[in-house]
């Protein structure tokens, strides 16, 4: 009898849920999962919880208002970071995800009231983490591209000796570029073929907002205008090589302490080996004397 009552309550709750979903015109689970997968641009299937959160975020985004400058900046960051999402939906998703964590404060108030402040702090930390995820992705992408710019500048420096065809230089370098830079070069080349070259390069610079990329774009625009940019790219290649060395040194300084411990242990082993050899030779010499 108890099992029948449980099944009756379960099916009644499911029926009420689907009736409410149809009445409120909520998107289906499949549509929400496809939308979430497109927004994240990941091959793995979206989780059911994230699908529900995204559905709620789409509904909440209609009530979020952003000024034009903030919305334009956020849209550029989301597009450059590879997140195909509207700024309002992105902001709403952070609010919904933090709010879902904050709802767990209700049982905490009855069961363990001392944990309530920790839940509030956790919700705030999650909100700030979600709102900064787009900037983190853009930063990681910018670092990947800036790591390839020294090689790109050196290639342009060599090709300027034989040609001034900017589109041809970029197309040839694209074949050996990394994934991040290759995607941006695809967009740039398509933009250059369909519009003004200088305007396309300017938009390419604005998408990533990188000082190193700005120097490269400035030199390419000079080539398009007929300037003798060979010396400029020679100096730029030298500066980029110095910056690359500094970047590699900074990465080397971030070696985990465990590796340093193992290096110290290896040094001690080498010293002990030498001491053992010296002691063995000394003992052999003393044995020969006696």
Task: Please say whether the beta carbons of 95 and 127 come within 8 A.
Answer: yes
Sign, CA dihedral 132-137-143-146, equals negative
More confident residue, 284 or 152: 152
Q: What is the mean pLDDT of the chain?
A: 78
Query: pLDDT > 90: what percent of the chain?
Result: 0
Among the residue ranges 26-30, 63-67, 259-263, the one predicted with the least confidence is: 26-30
pLDDT band at 45 (very low <50, low <70, confident <90, very high): very low
Give the residue from 48, 46, 138, 62 showing the smallest Cα distance to 95.
Answer: 62
Q: Please work out, in degrees rounded to the nearest 5, the angle formed at the alpha carbon of residue 20 by the alpha carbons of 19 and 25.
A: 100
The answer to whether 189 and 167 are in contact (CB under 8 A) is yes
What Å distances lie between residue 52 and 48, 99, 200, 237, CA to CA?
Answer: 6, 13, 39, 50
Mean pLDDT of 53-68: 82
| Rg, Å, the chain Cα set | 30
- What is the DSSP secondary structure assignment for residue 195, as one 8-state letter? S
Residue 29 clears pLDDT 80, i.e. is over it: no
174, pLDDT greater than 80: yes
Residue 237 clears pLDDT 70, i.e. is over it = yes
Domain boundaries, the chain: 140-250, 254-286
| pLDDT the model gives residue 255 | 64
Rounded to whole angstroms, the Cα distance separating 119 from 104 reads: 7
Lowest-confidence region among 71-85, 114-128, 161-175, 232-246: 71-85
Residues near 214 by beta carbon (within 8 Å), at least 6 away in sequence: 205
What pLDDT score was predicted for residue 90? 86
Specify whether the CB–CB gap between 176 and 211 falls below 8 A.
Answer: no
pLDDT at 55 exceeding the cut of 50: yes
Write out the DSSP string of 211-245.
HHHHHHHHHHHHHHTT---HHHHHHHHHHHHHHHH
- The pLDDT assigned to 26 comes to 54
Find the helix or strand (DSSP H, E) in which 199 lies.
helix 197-208
Residue 46 has pLDDT above 60, yes or no: no
Question: Residue 238 above 80 pLDDT?
Answer: yes
State mean pLDDT over 194-206: 87
Residues across the chain: 290
For residue 204, what are its two tokens? 């390419």
Residue 4 pLDDT > 60: no
Closest by CA position to 142, among listed 190, 81, 90, 73:
81
Contact (CB, 8 A) for 170 and 217: no
Q: What is the mean pLDDT of residues 199-205?
A: 88
Q: Are the beta carbons of 27 and 58 closer than 8 angstroms?
A: yes
Question: pTM for the complete prediction?
Answer: 0.61
- Asked whether the predicted pLDDT for residue 140 surpasses 50, the reply is yes
Q: How far is CA 11 from CA 27, 52, 259, in A?
A: 21, 20, 57
| Predicted confidence (pLDDT) at residue 257 exceeds the cutoff of 70 | no
For residue 2, the surrounding DSSP H or E stretch is helix 2-24
């Amino acid at each position: 009898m108890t099992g029948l009552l449980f099944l009756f309550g379960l099916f009644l709750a499911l029926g009420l849920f689907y009736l409410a979903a149809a009445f409120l015109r909520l998107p289906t689970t499949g549509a929400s999962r496809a939308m979430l997968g497109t927004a994240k641009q990941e091959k793995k299937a979206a989780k059911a919880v994230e699908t529900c959160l995204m559905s709620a975020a789409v509904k909440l985004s209609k009530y979020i208002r952003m000024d034009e400058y903030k919305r334009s900046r956020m849209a550029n960051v989301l597009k450059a970071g590879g997140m195909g999402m509207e700024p309002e939906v992105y902001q709403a998703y952070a609010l919904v995800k933090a709010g879902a964590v904050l709802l767990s404060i209700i049982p905490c108030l009855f069961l363990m009231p001392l944990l309530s402040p920790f839940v509030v702090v956790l919700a705030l930390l999650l909100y700030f983490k979600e709102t900064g995820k787009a900037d983190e992705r853009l930063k990681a992408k910018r670092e990947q591209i800036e790591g390839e710019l020294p090689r790109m500048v050196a290639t342009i420096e060599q090709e300027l000796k034989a040609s001034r065809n900017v589109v041809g230089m970029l197309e040839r370098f694209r074949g050996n570029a990394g994934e991040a830079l290759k995607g941006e070069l695809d967009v740039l080349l398509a933009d250059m073929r369909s519009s003004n070259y200088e305007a396309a390069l300017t938009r390419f610079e604005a998408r990533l907002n990188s000082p190193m990329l700005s120097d490269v774009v400035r030199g390419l625009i000079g080539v398009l205008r007929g300037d003798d940019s060979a010396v400029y790219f020679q100096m730029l290649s030298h500066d980029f090589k110095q910056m690359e060395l500094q970047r590699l040194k900074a990465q080397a300084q971030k070696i985990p302490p465990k590796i340093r411990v193992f290096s110290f242990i290896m040094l001690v082993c080498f010293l002990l080996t030498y001491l053992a050899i010296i002691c063995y030779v000394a003992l052999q010499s003393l044995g020969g004397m006696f």
